């Protein structure tokens, strides 16, 4: 899955730069850049900066708020919406009570979502039309 150090496009993903351990409870919003591994509880929103940011929520982790990141691997409980600008991976123990917005989704058997799943495709590109040929040509 993500253990090989490369994302689906062959780009390296962020190394874990922050760890919130089991038994830790944070009440308030969290902003991070790089990689965040969460075994504890966050009661507030989580926002990632950067297109290579990765949130990893273990099966022990809990989030009570909105998650907005480029990439996420979820294996715990989320009570709130998830917005993954690039890639969202839902492992077998993922339990989500909220809407999920994604571009690329990988969902293992056993993962549960109680909310809407909304695909966020790339912006529609306007194709150039054919060039007009002068009448006297």
Number of domains in the chain: 1
- Taking alpha carbons only, the member of 96, 97, 87 closest to residue 120 is 87
Residue 79 lies in a domain: yes
Q: Which tokens sit at 110?
A: 């056993």
Q: What are the distances in angstroms from CA 95 to CA 26, 41, 83, 99?
A: 20, 14, 15, 12
Residue 40 near residue 20, CB atoms below 8 Å: yes
**Among positive and negative, which fits the CA dihedral 32, 64, 56, 67?**
negative
Kindly give, in sequence order, each residue whose CB lies less than 8 Å from that of residue 59, ignoring residues fewer than 6 positions away.
Answer: 75, 76, 91, 93
Question: Is residue 4 pLDDT above 80, yes or no?
Answer: no
Q: Is residue 30 part of a domain?
A: yes
97 is in which domain, residue-wise?
Answer: 16-108
Residue 91 domain flag: yes
Identify which has the larger pLDDT, 135 or 62. Answer: 62
In a domain, 129, yes or no: no
Of 63, 75, 77, 5, the C-alpha closest to 29 is 63
* 92 belongs to a structural domain: yes
Model pLDDT, residue 2: 47
pTM for the predicted model, two decimal places: 0.80
54 located within any domain: yes
Query: Shortest CA distance to 2 belongs to which of 78, 122, 118, 104?
Result: 104
The larger pLDDT score, comparing residue 117 to residue 11, is at: 117
In a domain, 47, yes or no: yes
114: in domain: no
């Amino acid at each position: 899955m993500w253990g090989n150090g490369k994302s689906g496009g062959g780009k390296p993903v962020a190394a874990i730069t922050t760890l919130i351990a089991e038994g830790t409870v944070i009440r308030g919003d969290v902003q991070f850049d790089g990689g965040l591994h969460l075994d504890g509880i966050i009661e507030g929103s989580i926002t990632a900066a950067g297109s290579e940011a990765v949130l990893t929520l273990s099966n022990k982790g809990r989030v009570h708020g909105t998650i907005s990141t480029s990439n996420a691997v979820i294996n715990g409980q989320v009570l709130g919406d998830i917005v993954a600008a690039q890639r969202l991976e839902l492992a077998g123990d993922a339990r989500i009570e909220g809407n999920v917005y994604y571009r690329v989704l990988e969902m293992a058997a056993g993962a549960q979502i109680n909310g809407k799943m909304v695909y966020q495709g790339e912006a529609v590109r306007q194709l150039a039309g054919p060039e007009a040929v002068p009448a006297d040509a």
